[in-house]
C-alpha cells in the first residue's frame, strides 16, 4: 500500500531517526486545519501537533503545514481522538508559488510529485481570439514549467480537447519546439484512445499533479485515468472560455494502475516563488545564448552585441519567448526586493503591503 502511494527509501530513512511508534502516512487531502492521511491501515483525519502551529508566537507558514503529497509521521495514542502529525518529512520535490494572500510568502501547492502536468486546451476553430489565447497561452505554460523545474519535478504539458482541431499533433509540435525538452501531449477525453499517449509517460509508483486554469479539463482527465467519476465536471462557458471551479481543493487519488494523481483547483494567478540563481533553468536556450552576449549583465533589450536578440533576428528564437523570460526576470527582481515574508505572526490581521505587479495575469 505505501509503495503504491510513492513511499521509498528516501522517506523510510527519515522515519528510522524517530520514535518507532510513529507511523508514516501520505497527505491526500486538506480541510482547513485537518488533513486526510493515507497509511497502511487506511485513511485517517489528522491534525497538527500544537507546537507545529506556533513557536515563540511565530508561524512558519510554508514549513509548518503539510501540503497534499507530503509524507508525515503520525502519532495516535490511546487517549487521542485524532492522530497527530508530529513531523513533516523532507520533500523530494515540490511545486510552489508566491502567495499574494500571504503578502508574497511562498506557498507550497503540492509535494513529492514526479511530474507536474500543465494542462491547457485547444479552442474551437471558430473561437474568438480571447478564448483561443486563454485556452492555450504559451507564456502561462512557460511560467508553470519554470516553477516545476525550480521544485525539482519533471514538467509535462497536456493539451486537452484535441478533438476540436484538425491536426493536434502539429500544434503540439509547435509548442514543444518553443519550450524545447518538455514533452507536449495532445489528448481528448471524448475518444476511447484519447489518453493512450499520456499513459505511456506515467509509471507505476509515480505521482503526477495536474495544474492549469479552470475549464481546461483537469478533472475530466483525472476521471478517465482513474476509470471512475472521482471529480465533478462542468462544461466551460462558450462566450469567454472560462470554466467553473469544479475542483475546490487539492486532492490525491490512487489509480488501479499503480500511480497517484493530484487534482488542483484552477489558478488564475501564478507568481513564481522566490528561488535560487538557477530558478529559470526552464529557459536554458536563452541562458546558453546569453553566454555569448558582449555584456555579462545584458538584459537583452537594447544592448549592443546581444546574442539573444541576434538569434531572434536570425529566426532561431521566438521573440515572444524572450518577452516571457524577461517578464519572469522582472517579477523575480520585484520579489527579491520585498522584505522577507517567511515568518508571519499568528493571527496577524495587518493589511497586506503593496502587491507585486500582477504580470502573471497580464501575460
**Contact indicator for 145, 118 with CB cutoff of 8 Å:** yes
d(CA 240, CA 208): 29
Q: What is the pLDDT of residue 63?
A: 59
Its CATH architecture, for the domain 275-340, is: Orthogonal Bundle (1.10)
Q: Which residues of the chain have pLDDT under 70?
A: 50-63, 99-104, 230-248, 268, 274-279, 336-363
Q: What cell numbers appear for 145 in the block?
A: 514549467
If you search the block for the grid coordinates 491526500, which residue do you land on?
Answer: 28
Domain with CATH 1.10.40.50 in the chain: 275-340
If you search the block for the grid coordinates 503526477, which residue do you land on?
Answer: 208
38-90 confidence digits (pLDDT tens): 999 899 999 988 654 444 444 445 557 899 999 999 998 777 778 899 999 99
Domain with CATH 2.40.50.140 in the chain: 9-90
pTM: 0.81
Q: What is the pLDDT of residue 211?
A: 94
Q: Give, in words, the CATH class of 9-90.
A: mainly beta
In DSSP notation, 290-307 reads: HTTSSSTT--SSS-TT-H
CA 98 to mean position of chain CA atoms: 12
d(CA 297, CA 308): 13
Domain with CATH 3.40.50.300 in the chain: 109-263
d(CA 320, CA 303): 18
154-163 confidence digits (pLDDT tens): 999 999 999 9
The CB density around residue 277, as the number of other CB atoms within 10 Å, is: 6
Q: What is the pLDDT of residue 334?
A: 75
Angle ∠(208,259,118) on CA atoms, nearest 5: 15
To which CATH superfamily is domain 109-263 assigned? P-loop containing nucleotide triphosphate hydrolases (3.40.50.300)
Q: What is the pLDDT of residue 286?
A: 93
d(CA 226, CA 220): 10
Q: What cell numbers appear for 54 in the block?
A: 506556533
Q: What is the pLDDT of residue 124?
A: 81
223: buried, middle or exposed (CB in 10 Å: 19+, 13-18, 0-12)? buried
Q: What cell numbers appear for 362 in the block?
A: 497580464
d(CA 191, CA 186): 12
Amino acid at each position: 500500500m505505501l509503495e503504491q502511494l510513492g513511499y521509498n527509501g528516501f522517506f523510510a530513512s527519515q522515519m528510522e531517526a524517530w520514535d518507532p511508534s510513529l507511523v508514516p502516512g501520505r497527505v491526500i487531502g486538506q480541510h482547513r486545519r485537518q488533513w486526510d492521511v493515507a497509511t497502511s491501515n487506511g485513511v485517517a483525519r489528522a491534525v497538527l501537533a500544537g507546537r507545529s502551529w506556533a513557536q515563540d508566537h511565530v508561524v512558519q507558514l510554508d514549513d509548518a503545514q503539510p501540503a497534499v503529497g507530503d509524507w508525515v509521521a503520525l502519532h495516535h495514542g490511546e487517549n487521542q481522538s485524532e492522530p497527530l502529525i508530529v513531523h513533516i518529512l523532507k520533500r523530494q520535490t515540490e511545486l510552489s508559488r508566491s502567495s499574494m494572500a500571504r503578502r508574497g510568502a511562498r506557498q507550497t501547492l503540492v509535494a513529492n510529485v514526479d511530474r507536474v502536468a500543465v494542462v491547457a486546451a485547444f479552442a474551437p476553430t471558430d473561437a474568438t481570439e480571447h478564448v483561443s489565447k486563454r485556452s492555450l497561452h504559451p507564456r502561462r505554460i512557460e511560467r508553470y514549467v519554470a516553477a516545476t523545474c525550480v521544485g525539482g519535478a519533471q514538467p509535462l504539458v497536456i493539451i486537452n480537447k484535441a478533438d476540436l482541431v484538425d491536426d493536434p499533433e502539429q500544434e503540439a509540435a509547435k509548442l514543444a519546439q518553443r519550450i524545447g525538452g518538455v514533452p507536449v501531449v495532445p489528448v481528448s477525453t471524448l475518444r476511447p484512445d484519447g489518453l493512450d499517449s499520456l499513459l505511456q509517460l506515467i509509471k507505476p509508483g509515480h505521482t503526477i499533479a495536474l495544474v492549469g486554469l479552470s475549464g481546461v479539463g483537469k478533472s475530466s482527465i483525472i476521471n478517465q485515468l482513474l476509470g471512475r467519476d472521482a471529480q465533478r465536471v462542468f462544461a466551460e462557458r462558450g462566450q469567454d472560455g472560462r470554466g467553473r471551479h469544479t475542483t475546490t481543493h487539492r486532492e490525491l487519488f490512487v489509480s488501479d494502475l499503480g500511480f497517484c494523481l493530484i487534482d488542483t483547483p484552477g489558478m488564475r494567478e501564478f507568481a513564481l516563488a522566490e528561488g535560487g540563481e538557477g530558478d529559470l533553468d526552464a529557459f536554458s536556450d536563452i541562458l546558453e545564448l546569453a553566454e555569448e552576449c558582449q555584456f555579462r549583465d545584458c538584459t537583452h533589450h537594447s544592448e549592443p552585441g546581444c546574442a539573444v536578440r541576434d538569434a531572434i533576428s536570425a529566426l532561431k528564437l521566438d521573440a515572444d519567448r524572450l518577452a516571457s523570460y524577461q517578464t519572469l526576470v522582472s517579477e523575480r527582481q520585484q520579489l527579491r526586493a520585498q522584505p522577507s515574508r517567511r515568518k508571519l505572526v499568528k493571527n496577524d490581521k495587518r493589511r497586506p503591503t503593496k502587491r507585486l505587479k500582477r504580470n502573471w495575469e497580464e501575460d
